[in-house]
Amino acid sequence: MIALLAGGTGGAKLARGMLDVVGPAELAVIANTADDVEVYGVHVSPDPDLVTYWLADSIDPRGFGIVGDTWEVMDALAAAGRPTWFRLGDRDLAMCLIRTERLLAGERLTEAHAAVARAAGVEARVLPMSDERVRTEVTAGGRRRPFQEFMIVDRASSPIEAVILAGVEEARPTPDVLDAIRTADAVVIGPSNPVISIGPILAVPGVREALRESAAPVVAVSPFVRGRAVKGPTEPFMEYAGLSRGALGIVESYGEVIDGVVCDEQLADAPVPALACDTLMDEPDSRRRVAEDVLAFASRLDR
């Protein structure tokens, strides 16, 4: 059993590699929901959805949304003079409608996302980190904004002054998440943004304790490839958090949570065992190979 902590891009690509290596019955992906947003009357879960679309081989080559999607609803909203800043394709919107209908019927977010995964043909478990509402907000240029508005409307243009995980103190990990961690043979922290993708998962009270108590080794994969983040705002958020750029910053960020790190750098004096290997996952073969290397490394680690 593999439990993989993931945001939407780096973690999702590794999830796709893991699927090839261990199969759907052995894979549980614990996904960040602090980027979730309510828009057009639907509940959007960007990270769980990206993981799901990657696992379904339906991710759009842009890196988000569903391949071959159409934009009739967004065009109709725009024609009606409604804001369309959060661009959701028609099929992507259909997935959000499935989730929202279930939530309105009183189901947990976990159950509602399971319905989305089933609709997408995904058999592996994609688990929201919590059923409770947690929302990342960013203060930048003196203004506090929900994360998606900071990224999309403001284009992340001002220096980050604060990151707030609203609601996290009241949130709890789901029984499904705790079970995935408890029964894992290896826990892998995907190469996701440590501050805004993995940070919220680890900040849900009870997750760090569950990782500490698990018999499984915990291995982090660095999102830095040849010294730089492949895409997205990992670098400015790590700078804001006072973390070094590169794999060392990943080790600093996760501290005692991890038993090992996988990166493409030679880490001298790393406080945990490190495996150096190519971690770029731009092709199915490389995604599978990184997953194999990570699991082989984890199996050699002591707890």
- Residue 279 in contact with ligand GDP, rule: CB under 6 A: yes
* Residue 8 binding ligand GDP, by CB under 6 A: yes
> What span, in angstroms and rounded, lies between the C-alpha atoms of 56 and 51?
9
Residues that bind ligand GDP (rule: CB under 6 A) add up to a total of: 25
The residue (of 80 and 157) whose beta carbon lies closer to ligand GDP is 157
Whichever of 118 and 231 has its CB closer to ligand GDP, that residue is: 231
Q: Which of 36, 47, 131, 259 binds ligand GDP (CB under 6 A)?
A: 47
Please report how close the Cβ of residue 191 comes to ligand GDP at its closest, in angstroms: 4
Nearest residue to ligand GDP, scored by beta-carbon proximity: 10
> According to the 3-state scheme, what is the secondary structure of 77-119?
HHHCCCCCCCCCCHHHHHHHHHHHHHHHCCCCHHHHHHHHHHH
Q: Tokens for 178, please give them.
A: 């705790």
Q: Residue holding tokens 């930048």? A: 140
Considering only residues 183 through 242, tell me which ones interact with ligand GDP, judged by CB under 6 A: 191-193, 197, 221-223, 225, 229-232, 234
Asked whether 2 and 188 are in contact (CB, 8 A), the reply is yes
> Shortest distance, CB of residue 233 to ligand GDP, whole angstroms?
7
Rounded to a whole number of angstroms, the minimum distance from the CB of residue 167 to ligand GDP is 18
**Is 13 among the residues that bind ligand GDP (CB under 6 A)?**
yes
Q: Contact between 48 and ligand GDP (CB under 6 A)?
A: no
DSSP one-letter code for 19 = H
H, E, C per residue of 115-178: HHHHHCCCCCEEEECECCCCEEEEEECCEEEEHHHHHHHCCCCCCEEEEEEECHHHCCECHHHH
**Dihedral over alpha carbons 235, 236, 241, 245 (to 10 degrees):** 30
Interface with ligand GDP, residue 280, by CB under 6 A: yes
Is there binding between residue 11 and ligand GDP (CB under 6 A)? yes
Closer Cβ to ligand GDP, 82 or 87, answer by number: 87
Footprint of ligand GDP (CB under 6 A): 6-11, 13, 47, 191-193, 197, 221-223, 225, 229-232, 234, 279-282
